[in-house]
C-alpha cells in the first residue's frame, strides 16, 4: 500500500498551515551553480519559525486532531529535534500540552529550543528508536495522544512546501531531499503527483544511518542496529512501512553520503549562500555534488530544511568547507 493524497487534500492542509505561517522563499544561487555545474534552486525551509519544514506537518496534524478528537488535551512524541519543535510549536498555538522524548546526548540547542516552546522534555535512551519506544509507553501510562514521526496528516501539511516549490520554479528536472522518517520525501512525491509533474525525486541519507537506502534496495523495510550520524535529522534505524512503500513507488533513488560529504556541504552552504544548515539540511547539496556529472546543465532543486546545527558542529563544517 502506498500513500496517495489528492490535490484537494493537499490544498486543504496548506490552508491550515497558512493560518500560522507564510510560504518560504526559493532562490537560485550563482555560487552554487558554479560549484555544481547546474542551475540550482534552493527551497529555504530553514526560514520557517523552527528552521525546518517539519512545522508544516505539525500544524496540520494538530488542527486535524482538534477537529477529530476535541477531547485530547496533551500529546507526546519522540525526536532528535525538528519534529519535536514542530509538535511543540503546533501544540502551543492549538492550546495543547506537549511532552517530547529525546535520546541522551541530543543537540543541546535543539533541546533548549523545545523547552522554550513550553515542551516537557524527557531524555531517554541511546538513540531515537529507544526514545520513541519509551514515548509510546508513556503515552499509555499518562493517557496522552502519541504523535508518530510519520503520518498522513504530517505528510499532507509538509506537502505545502512542495506545492510552493513546484509552482514557483517550473520544469525542475530533479529535487533532492534528506530522508529521516519519510515525511519530507513522501510529501514531495504527493505534491509532484498531484500536480501531474515528471520531476525526479531523490532521497538522501548518511552511510551511518542507511536504513531507508537499504530498504529501497531490498524493496522492503530493512532495519539497522545503529544510526550514529552527525546529521541527526536522518538518524533513522527503523523505517516506516507506509513511507517505504511510497518511496519505492515514487522516488528515483536513495543516495548514501559519507559524514565528510555532509560536513563539507554544510560549509559550502555558508560560503556560497551565507545560510546556516545542519547536517540533514546540507545533505541534499552533498548528494548533488556526489552526482554532479549526472545533472550537468539541468535545473535542480534542493530542500534546505534544518537550520539548527550546534555551535561545535558548525565550526567543524566551516573548517571542512575551507
Tens of pLDDT, residue by residue over 308-319, are 888 899 999 988
| Residues 25 and 121 occupy one common structural domain | no
Q: Are residues 219 and 234 in the same domain?
A: yes
Is the confidence at residue 53, as pLDDT, over 80? yes
Residue 236 in domain: yes
Quick one: 117 and 214 in the same domain?
Answer: no
Confidence band, pLDDT 50/70/90 cuts, at residue 322:
low
In the predicted structure, residue 321 carries a pLDDT above the cut 60: no
Question: 1 lies in a domain?
Answer: no
CATH of the domain at 128: 3.40.50.1100
pLDDT digits (tens, 9 = 90+) for 142-168: 999 999 999 999 999 999 999 999 999
Asked if 125 and 192 sit in the same domain, the reply is no
What are the residues whose beta carbons fall under 8 Å from the beta carbon of 78, sequence distance 6 or more?
A: 84, 100, 101, 102, 128, 131, 132, 134, 135, 149
Q: Does one domain contain both 214 and 283?
A: yes
**Host domain of residue 195:** 7-53+152-321
Task: Give residue-wise pLDDT tens across range 107-127.
Answer: 898 899 999 999 999 999 998
Query: Among 146, 178, 205, where does a domain finish?
Result: 146
Specify whether 70 is located in the same domain as 201.
no
Among 96, 115, 146, residue at a domain's last position? 146
Has residue 66 been placed in a domain? yes
Average confidence (pLDDT) over 92-109: 93
Q: Residue 227: what pLDDT?
A: 84
Higher pLDDT, 54 or 321: 54
pLDDT digits (tens, 9 = 90+) for 224-279: 988 889 998 898 999 999 999 999 999 999 999 999 999 999 999 999 999 999 99
- What's the mean per-residue pLDDT of the chain? 95
Rounded average pLDDT over 14-37: 98
pTM: 0.94
- Overall domain count for the chain: 2
Mean pLDDT across 210-216 = 97
One domain for residues 245 and 175:
yes
132 in a structural domain: yes
8 A C-beta contact, residue 35 and residue 272: yes
Residues 176, 72: one domain? no
Quick: pLDDT tens for 56-88.
Answer: 999 999 999 999 999 898 999 999 888 999 999
Q: Residue 235 falls within a domain, yes or no? A: yes
C-alpha cell at 59: 500544524
- Let me know if residue 196 belongs to a domain: yes
Do 246 and 117 lie in one domain? The reply is no
Task: Mark whether 201 and 237 lie in a shared domain.
Answer: yes
Judgement on whether residues 200 and 137 belong to the same structural domain of the protein: no
190 lies in the same domain as 314: yes
Q: What is the pLDDT of residues 297-311, one digit of tens each?
A: 999 999 999 998 888
Within-domain flag for 189: yes
Q: What percent of the chain has pLDDT over 90?
A: 88
Inform me whether the pLDDT recorded for 320 exceeds 90: no
Residue finishing a domain among 97, 117, 146: 146
Flag whether 2 is in a domain: no
Q: What is the 3-state secondary structure (H, E, C) of the chain?
A: CCCCCCHHHHHHHHHHHHCCCCCCCEEECHHHHHHHCCEEEEEEHHHCCCCCCHHHHHHHHHHHHHHHCCCCCEEEEECCCHHHHHHHHHHHHCCCEEEEEECCCCCHHHHHHHHHCCCEEEECCCCHHHHHHHHHHHHHHHCCEECCCCCHHHHHHHHHHHHHHHHHCCCCCEEEEECCCCHHHHHHHHHHHHHCCCCEEEEEEECCCCHHHHHHHHCCCCCCCCCCCCCHHHCCCCCCHHHHHHHHHHCCEEEEECHHHHHHHHHHHHHHHCCCCCHHHHHHHHHHHHCHHHCCCCEEEEEECCCCCCHHHHHHHHHHHC
pLDDT value of position 268: 96
Amino acid at each position: 500500500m502506498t500513500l496517495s493524497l489528492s490535490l484537494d487534500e493537499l490544498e486543504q492542509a496548506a490552508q491550515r498551515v497558512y493560518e500560522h505561517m507564510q510560504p518560504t522563499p526559493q532562490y537560485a544561487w550563482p555560487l552554487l551553480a558554479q560549484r555544481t555545474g547546474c542551475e540550482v534552486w534552493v527551497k529555504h525551509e530553514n526560514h520557517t519559525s523552527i528552521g525546518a519544514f517539519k512545522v508544516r506537518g505539525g500544524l496540520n496534524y494538530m488542527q486535524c486532531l482538534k477537529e477529530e478528537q476535541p477531547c485530547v488535551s496533551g500529546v507526546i512524541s519522540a525526536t532528535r529535534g525538528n519534529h519535536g519543535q514542530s509538535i511543540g510549536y503546533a501544540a502551543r498555538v492549538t492550546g495543547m500540552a506537549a511532552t517530547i522524548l529525546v535520546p541522551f546526548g541530543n543537540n543541546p540547542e535543539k533541546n533548549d529550543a523545545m523547552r522554550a516552546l513550553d515542551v516537557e522534555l524527557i531524555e531517554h535512551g541511546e538513540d531515537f528508536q529507544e526514545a520513541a519506544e519509551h514515548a509510546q509507553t508513556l503515552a499509555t501510562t499518562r493517557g496522552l495522544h502519541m504523535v508518530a514521526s510519520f503520518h498522513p496528516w504530517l505528510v499532507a501539511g509538509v506537502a505545502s512546501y512542495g506545492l510552493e516549490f513546484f509552482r514557483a520554479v517550473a520544469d525542475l528536472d530533479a529535487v533532492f531531499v534528506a530522508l529521516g522518517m519519510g515525511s519530507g520525501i513522501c510529501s514531495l512525491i504527493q505534491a509532484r503527483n498531484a500536480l501531474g509533474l515528471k520531476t525526479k525525486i531523490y532521497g538522501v541519507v548518511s552511510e551511518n544511518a542507511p536504513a531507508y537506502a537499504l530498504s529501497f534496495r531490498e524493496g522492503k523495510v530493512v532495519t539497522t542496529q545503529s544510526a550514529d550520524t552527525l546529521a541527526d535529522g536522518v538518524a533513522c534505524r527503523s523505517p516506516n512501512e507506509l513511507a517505504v512503500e511510497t518511496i519505492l513507488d515514487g522516488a528515483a533513488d536513495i543516495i548514501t553520503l559519507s559524514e565528510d560529504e555532509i560536513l563539507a556541504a554544510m560549509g559550502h552552504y555558508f560560503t556560497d549562500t551565507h545560510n546556516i544548515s545542519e547536517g540533514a539540511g546540507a545533505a541534499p547539496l552533498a548528494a548533488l555534488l556526489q552526482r554532479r556529472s549526472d545533472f550537468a546543465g539541468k535545473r535542480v532543486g534542493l530542500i534546505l530544511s534544518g537550520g539548527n546545527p550546534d555551535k561545535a558542529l558548525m565550526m567543524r563544517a566551516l573548517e571542512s568547507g575551507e
